[in-house]
């Protein structure tokens, strides 16, 4: 049976599933329930200086799919609104009661070294396993010079990280903002400051939808609104890309990564790990479905690992990184063509409409003159292998993309004679 235990930047955890710093980790009651459900660790909701932050009423909104499925979740809640002393007291007790579980304490303070130097010994005294520097919160706190206001300036990231490393023996994890042009810059800065790991992504600036009668966005606070932090399954593709960018960057090579963003099941977690995450953090899925989702996550990941022959998490962490490259190094001579399985086709015509209206007009619609039955066939000469038909098809597996033997060797864009700036020989990165 697969071993789900991990060691992340020197911290041992019974499994790689942690709850992210958020409402689910706001207080001892929630955290204890999470540990009882089987979570390996938590990142305690961000602590700050006293007096504690004050939150507004009406804090969440959502982007819905069909049948009110929550695709994305938006919040304008700030860091903890409870006193520092109360939080520290509860962290101490919970860690004492659950010594085999990981507790990381999230912190956010103004950019004054004295404030960080003062709070770090207090956190260390709780017995917590590490700290996470919240440089990612995109709402409310940046207006006060904290959160993403720090995370968007690599020099600040490096400076505060170094302060923390100089004032605590605990591992320092730097939480990065996605609201930036190139996430590698703050990751490099964190490493330069001595960070033991980075975690990403934090939430994305967003407005989910509006009330068109009142002409105000949600969540509505006294007739007004503001942008908030977007999370949930909709942000997973963005998070995966940013994790991969750091994992394959030579300047941050070997820097442990805690993956965050849209993780709702074991497969999501495995994908983050394959791109370099040593552990994962979950928030939205737990808020929508409860703490017990970790049972399916652990069971599913364990079964998949057994099926693939992976004995430990470390066996596959980062295995997809070498296969993730820059566009210019992709094989220009590789070719796939769509193939429709007529036995599975339900004749809905979605593939035809999508291709005919918006793509390459490479699917033919054939209508039987007697029965009126429609049949759809791929015009192989016109198909460029874009995958649109496969994506729009409602029947999984009905349309497949079949690799073609072109008889041509590997050639990337830097070598392609059609490239006016082609180089003589450039191997794939």
Q: Which residues are catalytic?
A: 137
One DSSP character per residue, 206-230 reads: E---EETTTTEESSPBTTB---EEE
Within 255-406, where are the H helices? Answer: 266-274, 284-289, 293-308, 350-358, 388-392
Q: Using CA atoms, how far apart are residues 261 and 263, in angstroms rounded to an integer?
A: 6
What is 256-273 written as a DSSP string? -EEEESS--SHHHHHHHH
Q: Is the peptide bond before 2 cis (omega within 30 degrees of 0)?
A: no
| Count of beta carbons in the 10 Å neighbourhood of residue 228 | 26
- Please state, in angstroms and rounded to a whole number, the distance separating the CA atoms of residues 297 and 270: 10
Cα torsion through 211, 213, 216, 221, rounded to 10: -80
C-beta separation of 261 from 239 below 8 A: yes
Q: How far is CA 48 from the centre of its chain?
A: 25
Contacts 24+ apart (CB under 8 A), 305-309: 305/2, 306/1, 306/2
DSSP 93: H
Strand-pairing partners, residue 338, are 401
Phi-psi category of residue 74: left, alpha or beta, with phi > 0 → left and psi -120 to 50 → alpha: beta
In which element (H, E) is residue 153 found?
A: none
Task: Please measure the distance between the N-terminal and C-terminal CA atoms of the chain and give it in whole angstroms.
Answer: 36
Indicate the SS3 state at residue 234: helix
């Amino acid at each position: 049976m697969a071993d789900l235990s991990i060691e992340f930047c020197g911290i041992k955890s019974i499994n790689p599933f942690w709850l992210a710093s958020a409402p689910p980790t706001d207080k001892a009651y929630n955290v204890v329930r999470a540990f009882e459900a089987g979570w390996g660790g938590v990142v305690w909701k961000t602590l700050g200086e006293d007096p504690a932050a004050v939150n507004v009423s009406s804090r969440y909104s959502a982007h819905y799919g069909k049948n009110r499925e929550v695709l994305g979740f938006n919040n304008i809640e700030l860091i903890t609104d409870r006193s520092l002393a109360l939080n520290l007291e509860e962290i101490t007790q919970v860690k004492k009661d659950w010594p085999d579980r990981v507790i990381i304490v999230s912190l956010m303070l103004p950019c004054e070294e004295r404030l960080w130097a003062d709070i770090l010994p207090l956190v260390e005294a709780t017995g917590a396993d590490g700290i996470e520097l919240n440089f990612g919160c995109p709402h409310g706190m940046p207006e006060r010079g904290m959160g993403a206001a720090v995370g968007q300036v690599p020099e600040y990231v490096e400076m505060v990280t170094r302060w923390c490393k100089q004032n605590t023996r605990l591992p320092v994890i730097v939480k990065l903002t996605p609201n930036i042009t190139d996430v590698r810059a703050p990751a490099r800065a964190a490493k330069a400051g001595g960070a033991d790991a980075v975690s990403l992504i934090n939430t994305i600036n967003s407005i989910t939808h509006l009330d068109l009668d009142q002409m105000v966005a949600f969540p509505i606070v006294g007739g007004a609104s503001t942008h908030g932090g977007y999370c949930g399954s909709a942000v997973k593709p963005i998070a995966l890309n940013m994790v991969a960018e750091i994992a394959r960057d030579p300047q941050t090579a070997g820097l442990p990564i805690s993956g965050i963003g849209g993780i709702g099941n074991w497969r999501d977690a495995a994908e983050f790990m394959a791109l370099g995450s040593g552990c994962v953090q979950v928030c939205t899925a737990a808020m929508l479905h409860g703490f017990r989702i970790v049972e399916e996550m652990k069971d599913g990941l364990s079964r998949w690992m057994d099926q693939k022959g992976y004995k430990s998490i470390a066996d596959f962490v980062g295995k997809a990184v070498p296969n993730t490259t820059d566009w210019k190094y992709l094989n220009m001579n590789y070719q796939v063509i769509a193939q429709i399985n007529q036995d599975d086709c339900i004749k809905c015509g979605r593939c035809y409409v999508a291709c005919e209206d918006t793509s390459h007009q490479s699917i033919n619609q054939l209508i039987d003159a007697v029965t009126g039955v429609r049949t759809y066939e791929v015009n192989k000469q016109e198909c460029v292998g874009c995958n649109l038909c496969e994506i729009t098809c409602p029947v999984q597996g009905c349309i497949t993309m079949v690799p073609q033997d072109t008889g041509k060797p590997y050639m990337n864009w830097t070598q392609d004679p059609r490239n006016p700036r082609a180089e003589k020989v450039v191997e794939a990165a």
